Every structure is written in C-alpha cells, then in structure tokens.
Amino acid sequence: MQREHEADIVDRARAGSVDAFEEIVMHYQPRLTRYLRVRGFSRHDADDIVQQAMISAWQHLHSYNPRWRFSTWLYTIAQRSIRNTADSVSNDGDQGEIADDRDPFDALLTDNLWSLARAELAPEPFTALWLHHGEGFEGREIARIMKRSHAWVRVTLHRARNRLKQVFDNGDST
Amino acid sequence: MNQSPPNHAPRSTAERLQRAANELPTARDEAAISRIMYAVRTRPQKSAARRLAPLNRPAWFAAAATAMVAVVVLTVTRPDAPGPSSPGPTPLPVRMGQDIDPLLARSENDLAQEMQSIRADLIQLSRMMTVRLESDPD
C-alpha cells in the first residue's frame, strides 16, 4: 500500500469510516497473521490475537501519531496483544512444535530457513530478525514495536545474523 | 573480469533470510476478517466520542464555571457558624477580603449579624423555658 494512500485511508478511518478501516484490516491481517504464525502461534491463536489487535487499533485510532508509519503503530499494538494473551496462549516463545493444527503454511515454515532461525534464536532476537527481514521494518521502528532501544535492536540483529551464519557455515539445512 | 554470483546463491545471511521470508505466504482468512469487522462494527469508537466533545464544550464549560463560582462564593461568604465560645462571626480572610466586591462583603457581614441575632434569641428562649420548668411545682 502506497504511503500517501495509506495516510488517506487512515485519516478516513480516524474520521469514523468503517469502510476505510476495513481496507486497513484487509491489507494488514494477512501480514500480522503470518508474523504470528512464524513466531510459533497456532492458526487459531494467531487469528484471535490479530482480531484483538485490530479491535484495539479501531478503538484507539485517535491516539495514532502519523510521525510513525501506520504499520509500526499496528505492530506495536499486536505486540501488546501478544503480551496480554501470553497466559492463555501456550506457544509464545516455544521452540518446540510449530502448531497443533497442521496446514500448508506449517509445511512451508517447517522447510523454511526461518524454522531453523527460530530453533537457534531466543524469542526476542528472532522477533527482531523477522521484523527486519520478514516485514521490512527499520531499526528504530523495531525498537518502538518491541519497546527496546535502537542500540539493543542493532546489537541483537548483528548477533542473531552472526549466530545464523555460524549455523549455515557448519551445515546448511536449506 | 567481475563475475556476480548466481541468483540461486545468496551472498549473505541477510539475503538468505530475506529470500526465505518471501517464500512464506501471507495466509488470507476471510472468515477471520469477517469476525473482526463484525466486532469493529458492534463496538463504539472512542475517537468518535472524542470528536463530538468540542460540540458540547460550551455547555460543559458553563456548568463547570458555574460550579466553580458557586464553590468560591460559598467559601467566601459562608464561613462556619461560630461556636458557643467564639467571640463573634469569623472575619473574612484578609487576602480574600481584599479581592471580593465590597457589596458582597457587606452582605456577608449582614448575614453574619443576622445569624448572631437569631442565635441570641434562641439562647434567650432556652433560658426562659428552663426558668419556667424549674419554677413549676410538681
């Protein structure tokens, strides 16, 4: 979605247009779902968290600061939704099985480099790594989403990539 | 002679991660979207109420201002009634008294004197009843 177009849609949604917000949901729901699935949430849990994040976004649209990209704000809310539901969701940070309901996405993820990354990295470095390479966020945006400092993000990304490089060099699993 | 690496051989860890991320699909779940939209449509948006707030501001502001003036007036013009051992009506605080309208101050003094007079009448009536009760034979 073009940034100008997105800004226009967000403005309309803030003015109370449900149709505009629906366009936001249609655009971001798949990305957020994938973000959660990669992190290890089941399909059901991911859907619940995305739904909660979207509702929260709708209710707090007035507090959105256009200084940041809308996606940064939305992922920050999603991150908060994950924390809020951490007690009821069993798979957050779990390095074991990907999900209980096997579907084509699980098969793709199992054979993907990111499954190796998740097995090798702690939850937070993995999240930072995905937000950067999987979602295209910059360091400052990741820092905002994860409530960390920019320096922490840079160091974490650097160490995570080095760790994976060692793994790749020792035995390529792809 | 420069030879760029073939496309199927990513040069860095970052590129490999980027490529692997692109391989993962973004699952589109229409049912989930429908659920979200239903929830959104059935819940009020706080921002809407916030936008309506300025329209009601004059009434709200007038009510708040009236309440504030009432509190100030009561605080200034209705001091606590003097106790039995008090020498008289409580004088106005000097700092406050300098700021209030002279007419208001005069009204306050009149009210205090009237209260003092009523109190004196009540005390007198009480004494008269006591004397009468004590003088009545059983």
Tell me if ipTM is over 0.85. Answer: no
Mean pLDDT, residues A78-101: 61
pLDDT value, residue B58: 53
Interval B30-62: pLDDT, tens: 666 666 667 776 766 655 444 444 444 455 555
Q: How far is CA B59 from CA A72, B55, B63, B137, in A?
A: 39, 9, 6, 67
Under the banding of pLDDT at 50, 70 and 90, the label for residue B73 is low
pLDDT value, residue B123: 86
Q: Which two tokens stand for residue A11?
A: 């403005």
Interval A132-157: pLDDT, tens: 999 999 999 999 999 999 999 999 99
Interval A106-140: pLDDT, tens: 777 777 889 889 999 999 999 999 999 999 999 99
pLDDT(B109) > 70: yes
Average pLDDT taken over every residue of chain A:
84
Please list every residue in chain A whose beta carbon sits closer than 8 Å to the beta carbon of residue B37.
18, 22, 25
Average pLDDT taken over every residue of chain B:
64
Under the banding of pLDDT at 50, 70 and 90, the label for residue B137 is low
Domains and their CATH numbers in chain A: 1-98 (1.10.1740.10), 100-174 (1.10.10.10)
Could you please report the per-residue DSSP string of A87-115?
Answer: TT-S-TT--S-S-SS--HHHHHHHTSHHH
Angle between helices B57-77 and B102-135 in degrees, nearest 10 = 50
A113 neighbors B20 (Cβ within 8 angstroms): yes
Interval A16-38: pLDDT, tens: 888 888 889 888 988 998 999 99
CB under 8 Å to A85, separation ≥6 — which residues?
Answer: A45, A48, A49, A52
CA–CA gap between residue A113 and residue A126 (Å, rounded): 12
- Most B CBs within 10 A among A50, A58, A110, A170, hence the mutation to make, goes to A58
Interval B19-32: pLDDT, tens: 989 888 776 666 66
Please list every residue in chain B whose beta carbon sits closer than 8 Å to the beta carbon of residue A59.
43, 45-47
Single-letter amino acid code for the residue at B51:
R
Q: Which residue has the higher pLDDT, A8 or B97?
A: A8
Determine, for residues B26 and A62 on separate chains, whether the beta-carbon distance falls below 8 Å.
Answer: no
- Most A CBs within 10 A among B8, B11, B17, hence the mutation to make, goes to B17
Q: Please, what is the Cα angle at B6 between B2 and B9, to 5 degrees?
A: 125
Interval A44-73: pLDDT, tens: 888 888 888 998 898 899 889 888 889 999
